[in-house]
Chains A and B, each alone.
Chain A
Amino acid sequence: MSESINLVANKKNESSRDKKSLKYFRFIAIVFLLSVFLFAISLFIFKTSLGEAALKKQEETLSGNMSSLSDKTVKLLLTQERLRNISDVLKNRSDVNKILDSVMKDMPPSVSINSLSIGKKKVTLIVASYSLYDINVLLDNLQKMSEDKKTFKRLIFDTLSIDDKSGKYSLGVSIDLL
């Protein structure tokens, strides 16, 4: 039998290695166990601290209070809806008075309107006067307004005639509105 074989010494080494690895193993197991435990506890605490149940209860109570105010809710929302539409109508409705004012604002007193027609996009105007000068003044004013492009887009000179019997001049113009 060989003397180099030392079973006792080997067994000791093996035992200490086993103990060491068992120690590590135990340590890892404890770390895992603690980590999972702490993680679960923290998660539970975080979830509880969200206060979901209390908020849900509060929401239910408030919804109940809100339903008792449903009449006021409907009135307020309807008023706002009506006001939006009214505002739209007012914004988009054509201001005929403004157009009339613009036409008549600087009209010389001797000039009278024979016929005036205002549509959505066009104004047709026939004026008469004994004075050709005054008709010219009106025409200049209208031209100036059309150049300003505030109300009128384009001014078209249609007709200029004279009534032989009365000696009255008659001017027809068309105005394209903005």
Chain B
Amino acid sequence: MSQKIIIDQNLLKILYIRYKPYLIYGGIIIVCLVIFLKVLIPQVYDFFAARDEVEQLRTRVNTLNQNINLLSSLSDSDLESDLNITALALPPEKDFAGILNAIKQASAKSGAVVGDYSFSIGEISGKTKDVKKHPSIEVNLSLKNNIRTTQNFLNEIYKILPLSEVSAIDVSGNSANITLLFYYKQLPKIQYNKNMNMKALSNQDTALLEDLSSWKISDSQDSSLTE
């Protein structure tokens, strides 16, 4: 026998009164589940992301602290002097005066008599397009001396700034033709970022700077790079 079920307001009211506690607790459980899944779980992910970010932030702060401590411990005048010495050794641009001065000093110290010389300058005006790792100016030089004096001259020029290299030498009797390369290199654009861990000059750097200082020929070579 089939019985027709009539759902009217009264029945709903009766059912509501009958199951009210279940509805409340069920509602609480459902709301808790929704909060857990929709709010708390994403918050857990956020927490881990925030933790990573804080870790990076902490590293950056430590790096900044170290950099500040390092820079504060360095004297501005020492830094200036170190930079000037390195700029004398490897000028940021073609330093013809420095080259002539170096040749003059080397010949004076070695007793060599310098004859003719010529420069292979390259492009003078405009921005240099020299993309070589260490661009150089070629100088052809003739010495009117025997091989011993020529050797002394080479010894001297190797220990005078700007840095040079002998690329070829022809000695014949009492004359020598030398091809010297004087190096230069443009200053790069220095870009500092917060994550950069700055380091003080290493022992090797300091030793090299000392060598370069001893190779500096005279006070006339002092020229400020930062001027």
Contact = CB atoms under 8 A, between A and B. Distances in A.
Interface stretch (B94-102, B120-128, B137-145, B147-155): B147-155
A43 B72 CA distance: 40
Contact of A43 (B25, B40, B58): B40
A118 interface: yes
Nearest to B76: A72
A178 interface: no
A35 interface: yes
Interface in A41-90: 43, 46-47, 50-52, 55-56, 58-59, 62-63, 65-66, 69-83, 85-90
A79 B75 CA distance: 14
Contacts of B47: 43, 46-47
A107 B152 CA distance: 17
A114 B172 contact: yes
A115 B171 contact: yes
Interface residues of A, number: 61
B57 interface: yes
A100 interface: yes
Interface in B26-60: 26, 28-29, 32-33, 35-36, 39-40, 43-44, 46-47, 50-51, 53-54, 57-58, 60
Given A78-B83, A94-B166, A36 B40 contact: yes
Nearest to A65: B68
Given A63-B194, A89-B90, A52 B83 contact: no
Nearest to B43: A43
Contact of A85 (B26, B44, B68, B90): B90
A113 interface: yes
B169 A80 contact: no
Interface stretch (B1-9, B111-119, B183-191): B183-191
Interface stretch (A22-30, A145-153, A156-164): A22-30
A63 B36 CA distance: 40
A119 interface: yes
B192 A70 contact: yes
Given A83-B209, A117-B170, A89 B165 contact: yes
Given A59-B60, A62-B64, A75-B226, A85 B134 contact: yes
Given A79-B79, A89-B183, A32 B209 contact: no
